[in-house]
Amino acid sequence: MTRLSRSLFGDLDVEVEMDAPIGVESWFCAGGRADFLVRPRTAEALSEILKRSRQIDTPVRIMGEGANLLVDDDGVPGIVIRLDAPAFRAVEHNVEGRLELVRVGAGADLARTLMRFARAGTAGLESLMGVPASIGGAVRMNAGGAYGEIGDVVHAVACLDSGGRVRVYGADELRFDYRSTNIVDPIILWAVFRVSQENPIALRERIKEIAAHKKRTQPLGDKSAGCMFRNPVDPDTGVRTSAGRIIDEVGLKGLRHGSATVSTHHANFFTIDRNGRARDAIELGDLVRDRVLDARGIELHREVVVWDRTDDERIGDA
């Protein structure tokens, strides 16, 4: 452990890995390393990391499930935090009366949480079937799709601000827009969701229906991380339209750049070959964006987050 890592983490309840291969842990299975990968075991340790990193102006990023993330092959500086300790994955129900609220830690996996709810007949998150994310990442970007968004059922969110202080926001203080929220604090700790009790069999059938639709329309078996671009607003109609359909209409489905390809199954999904380069996918995204702008006059904006050594991005993935 270096002198810097000892001064930052030596007395804290954390796991620390230097020069950590975070890119290959993303859903793209490609990309570079982080100077430090830190796994705090308590909220107190996490808070202290934020305070100390701020004092020495060291960047901090949060990595959830590694979905919705491209890590450049040169990696990223500073600290990457993963909230995968039990303290950040807990699930708690309201204890009195009928089940109406469930609090879930930000580090919990969305898919596993959804299936846990389904087995118990707890409805609320089933519209998120097939969305790869941690709970915190899903809330941060208001993850969702044709069947609904996570913001539809959020009751409250707790965060750590940049000074390491806990802030709790009720639904009336939160705004959920298309793939975004008004949350500015760097770390989400937990979210409370509005839920209801339903027949577990009927709930599981609903989930199967959504899963079957995703399987038919998306390349779920490839090394991808969901949609590369947000659905843009059509300048003629003023409503959002499918980025995948636009990319397809411009003739870019199947376009290849190095080890990265625009999926032939769904044009808003990019895939990377085994042992491929994350930068190929980043550059392919730039190429697709430029060609769509030239052909249709529509500017596409990335939904996938890109981390590299030159940006100032310090917020994690979905």
Q: Which residues are catalytic?
A: 179, 227, 303
Measured between alpha carbons, how far is 136 from 318 in angstroms, rounded to an integer? Answer: 7
CB count in 10 Å sphere of residue 88? 27
Give me 172's structure tokens.
């009336």
Q: Domain spans of the chain?
A: 3-81, 88-215, 227-302
Pairing label, strands 76-81, 60-62: parallel
Alpha helices in the chain (DSSP H): 3-9, 43-55, 110-119, 135-140, 200-217, 243-249, 278-296
The fold for domain 3-81 equals 3.30.43
The better pLDDT of the pair 171, 211 is held by 171
Measured between alpha carbons, how far is 218 from 96 in angstroms, rounded to an integer? Answer: 41
Measured between alpha carbons, how far is 240 from 238 in angstroms, rounded to an integer? Answer: 7
Label residue 172 exposed, middle or buried (CB < 10 Å: 0-12, 13-18, 19+).
exposed
156-207 pLDDT per residue, tens: 999 999 889 999 999 999 999 999 999 999 999 999 999 999 999 999 999 9
CATH of region 227-302: 3.90.78.10
Measured between alpha carbons, how far is 313 from 241 in angstroms, rounded to an integer? Answer: 27
Pairing label, strands 187-194, 154-160: antiparallel
The predicted pLDDT at position 222 comes to 56
Q: What is the Cβ-side half-sphere exposure of residue 279, based on CA atoms within 13 angstroms?
A: 7
Label residue 8 exposed, middle or buried (CB < 10 Å: 0-12, 13-18, 19+).
buried
The predicted pLDDT at position 67 comes to 86
Could you give the angle at the alpha carbon of 139 between the alpha carbons of 308 and 76, nearest 5°? 10
82-137 pLDDT per residue, tens: 999 999 999 999 877 788 999 999 999 999 999 999 999 999 999 999 888 999 99
CATH of region 88-215: 3.30.465.10
